[in-house]
Every structure is written in C-alpha cells, then in structure tokens.
C-alpha cells in the first residue's frame, strides 16, 4: 500500500471558553483518492479542514501532508495544496483573467506557465467567454467555478474543498462535479466536505462521517451501507449521528480569533 498523502492523528481543537470543536480525530487519505468528509452542522468538519490547511491552529495532534509535517514545512505544503473555502471571496474590481494572473505571480510561477495555466483553467471551468468581465458580474455558479480555478493555478497535488456546491442550482452543481471528476481522474487527491449525501455518493471513493468532534463512521459507501444495515448513505448518516440534515451550525463556524489575520 502507498504511503498516505494525508495523515491525521489524534487531532484536537478547543476554542477559548472551552468549546471542544474537534476531540481526537484520526484518519488517512491515499494518493489520488477522492475522500468525503461528512457531518451535521456543528460536527467540527470545517474546523478540521481549516486545521489541515493551517487557517486554524490546532490544539494538539499530528498532521502530515505529502510526507511533510505542518509545523516544520508549512511553506512547502502551501505549494502542494489548493483550497476553496465555503465563502467565495473575489476582487470585484478585477477580471477573472487578472485574478488568475495575480495568483500565478503570488505562487512565483514563470510568466509563460501563468498564461498556459490561465488558458487551461478558464477552459476547464467554462469561463473563457467571460474571462475579461469584472467578477462582480458573475452569477453564483460562475463565482464558484472561478474560485475552483483560482485554487488550481499552481497545479496542486491535493485539493481541499469546503462545501463547494452549497447554494448552487442542479445544473451548476453538475458542472462542478464534472470538473472535479476530471481532476481526480488525472491523479489529483481531493478532500471534500459536503452536506449533500448525493454529492458524496456520486464523487467519493471513501467517506468519513463526523459528529460532535469525533469520527463515527468511515469506509466506502457500500461498506457503510452494509455495516449499518442502511438503505443508502443518508440513512447511514442519520443512524450514526442521530441528526437531521440541517441543524443550525454552532461549532463548525466558530471563529478562531487568530485566524482572520492569516486569511
């Protein structure tokens, strides 16, 4: 078996005031795997993904990304990962082409490679015809697709996605699904958090379900359905968390007071 590209051991996060968002999480993701991270609002999954990309400092535990420890090799890890967050933040006074070019320069890519990547990514997310329009004119689906393109400008080995299709209509969601399938088929490891059971079933080779800061189930969809004598993944979710799919978010959106300055 190949070495995992993501290895997490006993990861914990306690916010000021004593709120335990993540209470000892361990899992591994294989190279090239499409891994789903599920859980009700407040389960701690967004806090977990933010710790993996160093937007939130962990309280304790070990994170190894592509053989590198986060505390010693943060800069190298940043070069190997892409991250699209829940909230799409774009410079609305810039065009898509300008933003892609800027991000390429921030990653110190050669000018020729930047132009190659810009052309490739605009085609991938089907925004070639609007590449020179200001981003404030984009629809929600276009903004989500462009945010995905920004996260790919440096050709990362690992892509972290936090609720990438939240709020999108079915057509826009299918477009993003198709893009993600292409990236994964080309060998990219993808780590996805989502509330959509259909999305996880359609895309993920393996999933972990988190509840109250702990992983309560992990495996392929088929394994979990069999293990829990369930009808489908949503039934597994409900049996393992005892939750409905829409509780108000409490912990997952908790704000680390030190994170804002790094975002």
Predicted pLDDT of residue 61: 96
pLDDT given for residue 211 in this prediction: 94
Q: What is the Rg, in whole angstroms, of the alpha carbon atoms belonging to the chain?
A: 18
Domains of the chain: 6-91+140-262 (3.40.50.300)
Per-residue pLDDT at 247: 38
pLDDT tens, N- to C-terminus, the chain (263 residues): 679 999 999 999 999 999 999 999 999 999 999 999 999 988 999 899 999 999 899 999 999 999 999 888 988 999 999 998 765 567 778 899 999 999 999 999 999 999 999 999 999 888 999 999 998 898 888 888 888 889 999 999 999 998 888 877 888 888 889 989 999 999 999 999 988 899 999 999 999 999 999 999 999 999 999 999 999 999 999 999 986 544 333 333 333 333 333 33
Beta strand ranges found along 136-213 (DSSP E) = 158-162, 189-193, 206-211
Residue 250: the pLDDT is 36
What Å distances lie between residue 93 and 4, 14, 115, 117, CA to CA?
A: 41, 38, 21, 22
CA distance 234 to 238: 6
Res 141: pLDDT = 82
Q: Which phi and psi angles does 66 have, rounded to 5°?
A: 50, 40
Q: How far apart are CA 91 and CA 88, in angstroms?
A: 10
CA-based nearest residue to 209, from 245, 246, 236? 236
């Amino acid at each position: 078996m190949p070495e995992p590209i993501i290895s997490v051991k006993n990861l914990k996060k306690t916010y000021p005031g004593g709120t335990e968002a993540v209470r000892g999480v361990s899992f591994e993701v294989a190279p090239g795997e499409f891994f789903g991270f599920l859980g009700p609002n407040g389960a701690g999954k967004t806090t977990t993904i933010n710790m993996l990309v160093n937007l939130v400092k962990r309280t304790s535990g070990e994170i190894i990304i592509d053989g590198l420890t986060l505390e010693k090799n943060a800069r190298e890890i940043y070069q190997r990962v892409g991250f699209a967050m829940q909230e799409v933040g774009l410079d609305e006074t810039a065009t898509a082409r300008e933003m892609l070019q800027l991000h390429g320069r921030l990653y110190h890519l050669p000018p020729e490679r930047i132009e190659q990547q810009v052309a490739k990514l605009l085609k991938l997310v089907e925004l070639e015809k609007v590449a020179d329009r200001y981003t404030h004119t984009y629809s929600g689906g276009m903004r989500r697709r462009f945010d995905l393109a920004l996260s790919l400008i440096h050709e990362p080995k690992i892509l972290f996605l936090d609720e990438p299709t939240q709020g999108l209509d079915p057509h826009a969601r299918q477009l993003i699904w198709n893009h993600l399938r292409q990236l994964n088929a080309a060998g990219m490891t993808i780590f996805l958090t989502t509330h959509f059971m259909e999305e996880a079933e359609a895309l993920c080779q393996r999933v972990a379900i988190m509840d109250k800061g702990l992983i309560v189930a992990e495996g392929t969809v088929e394994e979990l359905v069999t293990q829990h004598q369930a009808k489908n993944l949503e039934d597994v979710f409900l049996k393992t968390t005892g939750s409905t799919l829409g509780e108000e978010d409490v912990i997952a959106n908790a704000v680390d007071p030190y994170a804002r300055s790094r975002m």
